[in-house]
Amino acid sequence: QLKSLIPVVIHARQFKALKEDGSLHVDLPTVVVEVGFPSVLTAFPSISFGLNIKMEDPSLKVILPQGGNSEIKTVPEASPSSPLMKWLRPDFKVHLVVSRGRVDIQMGDEGSSPLDKKTQISFKGINLIFQQDSIFNNHRPMILNLDTMVSYLSPLSSLELPISIDTRNVTTTSNSVEAKTINLNIGGLLATAAGTTQFQPLQHNWIVLFEVPEIEKIKIPPQFLPPGNWFGEISGKIHFAQKDSSPPYIATQGFIRGLRGDTEMHGASLQMRGGVAADARWNVIYSNSLNIKELSAIIDLSGAQLRYLDWFQKKDTDRLRIEIEAKTEGKAFRISKGNLEFTRMLARVNGLIETQNGKNSFLSVAIPKLNLEGFESFFPFLGNHPLRGQLELKAEIRGDFTQPEKLRVKVAPFKLEGINTALKYFNAKQRIEVQGPLAMNSDIELVAEGAQLKSAKASLSVDLGRMSFSYGDMVRKRSGDPLSLRLQANQMNDRIVLHRLNFIHPAGSLWGTGDFQRPQKPKFNFKIDIEKLNLGKLSQFIPLLSKYDLSGGSVKGEVKSSGVYDFALGYTQSPFSVVAQLSTNFPQFTLDDSPSSGEKAKKEKKEAFQKLPRLPEWPVVVGSQLSLNAQVGRLNLGNESFKNSSAQLKYVKGNLTGGLSVEQLFGGSLKIDNINIGLREIHPFLKLRAQVTQLDLTRMGDWLFPTKPGRIKGQVSLKSRLGVPWPETEAWYRSISSQGQVSVQNFFLSSLDIDEKINQALGKLLKGQEKKEINSKGVSASLKSQFSSQEGQIRLAHFLFSTPEKNQITAQGSLDFNLVGELIGELSLANTSLSGSIYAANADAQGRLVIPLEIKGDLTHPNINIAKASIEKMLAKTIEYEKNKALKEVENKAQQEIKKSIESGKKKIEEGINKKIKDLFQRK
């Protein structure tokens, strides 16, 4: 209650807040906030505010990025108070009550399943009471009472712990917090905390003591341990201190003595039941660096049954004991004892690990020769099949662990001798099934000092021929299908030479040779020969390939790889390259891929095509080369078959060149050569030359438009040079450039009602005159044109469309890629009722009437018009014709009169001469 204050009360219901990225959810079903403001006249200069908050069923959910890292910022020091603030005495009274609250902290994405997350922590059933009458000038301790259930879930384990905090002995001032006693109960582990925190300058000094002298006497079973009956003693101390900005000091000491329990635990992956024992001591300090003064632990699980999924199991009579003794020596960490005892096996780990640069470390791992007979009972996936063979391991690492490339590594030996067993594993959810015998031998010895290889010898053989396994539709092997690996290698000078690598599989075999240096950063040179790979058998081994009908197909060739692999850089930046020469032959290859595959499939293919990735600038991409020679006897694409296809392609350092051809494509043939594209360029641009010969448009049209058969007919031939941009945008095709020529014989397009369009145009021209309409009755025509395209426009030059009746359209103009545009040309009509001067003035040498035309719109069903300018042009030609005709007639008449006059004169002259001659002879 805020008796001396002026209250303002706020009631809120169903208050919700959500961060846009989904990483924060706040839900407050019921909130009552009472704010008390001071009466300035009665309280001045003491200004005291009051705040009462009551929340029921509040919920907070926080989703952290994978890994759970988040930046924690320190609170800046407060600036000096102003004189007024020094004079005034502000204070706050707080009373906070939370009922049935919940806080969830989740690592990973919102949509992932619980097993996909690294960690989930939940605080459920939070009941909190916090009361403080005066924050800055406190004379009475605050009241703090918290009860909650903490739930922890990870892919390997789960845990629930009740936690309670109770104190009535904490005082606060404007510059400090002091706790004389804070009582903690963590799942039955009782602890007491005390200490102080000062804000200016910032200082902490806190101690937490916990002690359970007799666990069995705790009234509530200890929930910080797995469920069961427990005996033993736990005691320890944690000290946390820090001054101003100096590094924190954290020290913990304690022991676990005689801890024994009969437990039962059922996790998502791990189940345990039976006797567990543990003893441990520790003394650890952290201040700038970790200092382990003492660490010793013995964990004995010999009396417990264990099972981890289908990979490991043991009975409560099988010995399993872990013992470790370690401590810090100066800046180094020494493991004096690290033993794992499991039935007859004893694995030992010991050494000294230095954390400073330039200091030498040593680590040894050893498993003496072990007969594995009987170990099949520990591994359920072996299906209780007898396990035969021996295991032996001895390895040492010496040197500066901060410089791995300079370490001395010795593995001598690592042996698996005469391993014979059988596997039996089934996972219905992931559709994995493995069953059948396994035989394996390996013997590896390796000594290297830094980058220098001192000695090496390795042999490995694995035979899975009698095993069957499957993984969904990805892989399926039958018992009896060959599957084995053989490897032999040894040292030669400073290299490890791979004398033989033989991988035999159901489809054939691979053979490899090569060498490498420097195991820490290998420099290598390998060659793999691919013998004739039977793709039909490969599709049986990999069922996903069966839909392509690869029966009879084969691949052969060789692959070489050389360079350096840097583990720090990974395959994307390591400087190595691959050179491959492959030859493939397919009697037939089937793709269920045709335009009739549905709109959804079309859309998906279109989107995938537009998202084609460019090659990354990785050294292996920049420096590699590939030559491919492919032959396909019959390519089945939907309901069409293309015969005798071939491709010769070459990839060199990011540039692809070559060509391809199809001898029988829709009744014709296709040849593409001069292919050239720089796949590493920012904007790749494909250049090529294409030639199509006698391609049947009917078959192609029915394949492209199966719902509209017979829409187009003809035989097309084409020659062109093309430039095609990378499909980066929706309208990428508008940037295609081309230049070439096309011809179509017996061309017919159902939407091209050319007769009707021409007759309409003639009707406008010969209005009121008798005219003979064109009626080709759908007779096919021939089409020829030269073309070029640039910047989204197709330019047609010398476009020629002619029918068997010798009717003809010649034109030129431009279209866009939707075949919409404008052509200007002439119509030549072989048969027309038109006669007289108009016909005579506008006929060509073959006697066809020539009419200027304009063709506009969609070329598949265009608008054909005779423009006014064209009519004027025809009229002018007719007038010129009549004029020339009249002149010709006058000229002919004049010529006839002249000729007649000349003939008369000639006659008179002849008669006069004859008379004179006669008279002359009479005188004699």
- Tens digits of residue pLDDT in 892-905: 776 777 777 777 77
Identity at 183, one-letter amino acid code: N
How far, rounded to the nearest angstrom, does the alpha carbon of residue 283 sit from its chain's CA centroid? 48
Length of the chain: 924
CA distance 462 to 440: 4
Given pLDDT bands bounded at 50, 70 and 90, which one contains residue 576?
A: very high
CA nearest neighbour of 539 among 556, 552, 558, 557: 552
Q: Which span out of 1-5, 690-694, 712-716, 835-839 was modeled with the highest average pLDDT?
A: 690-694
Tokens of 785: 């044109």
Residue 430 predicted with pLDDT over 90: no
Q: At residue 861, what are phi and psi to the nearest 5 degrees?
A: -150, 80
What are the residues whose beta carbons fall under 8 Å from the beta carbon of 231, sequence distance 6 or more? 214, 215, 216, 258, 259, 260, 261
Q: How buried is residue 142: exposed, middle or buried, by Cβ count under 10 Å (0-12/13-18/19+)?
A: buried
Tokens of 544: 């996903």
Given pLDDT bands bounded at 50, 70 and 90, which one contains residue 429?
A: confident
pLDDT tens per residue, range 585-643: 988 888 765 554 555 555 655 555 555 667 788 899 889 999 999 999 988 887 788 99
Given pLDDT bands bounded at 50, 70 and 90, which one contains residue 72?
A: very low
**The pLDDT value given to residue 422:** 87
The pLDDT of 743-766, averaged and rounded, is 70
CA nearest neighbour of 97 among 70, 73, 129: 129
Give the 3-state DSSP-derived string for 793-826, with helices as H, strands as E and coil as C: EEEEEEEEEECCCCCEEEEEEEEECCCEEEEEEE
Cα distances (Å, whole numbers) of residue 760 to 678, 764, 772, 849: 52, 7, 12, 16
Helix ranges, 65-187 (H): 83-87
Residue 269 near residue 299, CB atoms below 8 Å: no
**The pLDDT value given to residue 767:** 58
Point out the least confidently predicted range of 155-164, 697-706, 821-830: 155-164
Tokens of 706: 């199966």
Tokens of 308: 């981890």
Element (H, E) at 905: helix 868-923
Given pLDDT bands bounded at 50, 70 and 90, which one contains residue 19?
A: confident
Vertex 426, ends 422 and 429: CA angle to 5°? Answer: 160
Residue 703 predicted with pLDDT over 50: yes
Given pLDDT bands bounded at 50, 70 and 90, which one contains residue 41?
A: low
pLDDT tens per residue, range 260-278: 988 888 877 888 999 999 9
Given pLDDT bands bounded at 50, 70 and 90, which one contains residue 43?
A: low
More confident residue, 734 or 314: 314
**The pLDDT value given to residue 71:** 42
Q: How buried is residue 58: exposed, middle or buried, by Cβ count under 10 Å (0-12/13-18/19+)?
A: buried
pLDDT tens per residue, range 288-335: 878 889 999 999 999 999 998 888 999 999 999 999 999 988 888 899
Cα distances (Å, whole numbers) of residue 160 to 63, 151, 187, 227, 379: 20, 4, 8, 11, 30
Quote the DSSP letter at residue 708: S
pLDDT tens per residue, range 374-408: 888 898 888 778 889 999 999 999 888 877 777 88
CA distance 692 to 719: 7
CA distance 857 to 789: 18
**The pLDDT value given to residue 70:** 42
**The pLDDT value given to residue 605:** 56
Residue 51 predicted with pLDDT over 70: yes
Given pLDDT bands bounded at 50, 70 and 90, which one contains residue 59?
A: confident
What are the residues whose beta carbons fall under 8 Å from the beta carbon of 424, sequence distance 6 or more? 381, 382, 383, 385, 434, 435
Residue 428 predicted with pLDDT over 80: yes
Tokens of 569: 């850089």
Vertex 746, ends 742 and 749: CA angle to 5°? Answer: 85
**The pLDDT value given to residue 800:** 86
**The pLDDT value given to residue 317:** 92
CA distance 510 to 580: 14
CA distance 558 to 510: 9
**The pLDDT value given to residue 270:** 85
More confident residue, 573 or 734: 573
Tokens of 95: 């009373």
Tokens of 651: 């990839």
Residue 108 predicted with pLDDT over 70: no
Identity at 595, one-letter amino acid code: P
Residue 666 near residue 700, CB atoms below 8 Å: yes
CA distance 46 to 54: 26
CA distance 919 to 916: 5
Given pLDDT bands bounded at 50, 70 and 90, which one contains residue 766?
A: low
**The pLDDT value given to residue 680:** 84
**The pLDDT value given to residue 630:** 93
Distance between start and end Cα atoms, the chain: 180
CA distance 494 to 616: 34
pLDDT tens per residue, range 494-535: 778 888 889 998 888 899 999 888 766 788 999 999 988 888
Ordered DSSP codes for 534-558:
EHHHHHHHSGGGGGG--TT-EEEEE
**The pLDDT value given to residue 519:** 65
pLDDT tens per residue, range 175-197: 888 888 888 887 777 889 999 99
Residue 172 near residue 142, CB atoms below 8 Å: yes
The answer for 494, left when phi > 0, alpha when psi is -120 to 50, beta otherwise, is alpha
pLDDT tens per residue, range 852-893: 878 888 877 777 776 666 666 666 666 676 667 666 766 677
**The pLDDT value given to residue 76:** 43
Ordered DSSP codes for 240-295:
EEEETTSPPEEEEEEEEEEEEEEEEEE-SSEEEEEEEEEEEEEEEEEESEEEEEEE
CA nearest neighbour of 270 among 230, 312, 316: 312
Ordered DSSP codes for 602-624:
HHHHHHHHHTPPPPP--HHHHH-
pLDDT tens per residue, range 767-809: 555 555 555 555 567 889 999 988 888 898 888 888 777 778 8
The pLDDT of 424-453, averaged and rounded, is 83
Residue 232 near residue 259, CB atoms below 8 Å: yes
Cα distances (Å, whole numbers) of residue 303 to 213, 234, 257, 338: 24, 21, 18, 21
The pLDDT of 4-11, averaged and rounded, is 64
Residue 694 predicted with pLDDT over 80: yes
**The pLDDT value given to residue 692:** 93
Q: What integer best gives the mean pLDDT of the chain? A: 80
Given pLDDT bands bounded at 50, 70 and 90, which one contains residue 2?
A: very low
Given pLDDT bands bounded at 50, 70 and 90, which one contains residue 77?
A: very low
CA distance 20 to 17: 10
The pLDDT of 457-470, averaged and rounded, is 90
Identity at 562, one-letter amino acid code: S
Tokens of 615: 């090659």
pLDDT tens per residue, range 348-369: 999 998 877 888 889 999 999 9
Point out the least confidently predicted range of 72-76, 398-402, 717-721, 896-900: 72-76
Given pLDDT bands bounded at 50, 70 and 90, which one contains residue 742?
A: very high
More confident residue, 448 or 392: 392
- For tokens 């187009």, what's the residue? 712
Residue 342 predicted with pLDDT over 50: yes
CA distance 360 to 352: 8
Residue 21 predicted with pLDDT over 80: no
The pLDDT of 826-855, averaged and rounded, is 71
**The pLDDT value given to residue 336:** 92
Point out the least confidently predicted range of 120-134, 438-452, 465-479, 755-769: 755-769
**The pLDDT value given to residue 836:** 60
Beta strands 89-107; 59-64: pairing state: parallel
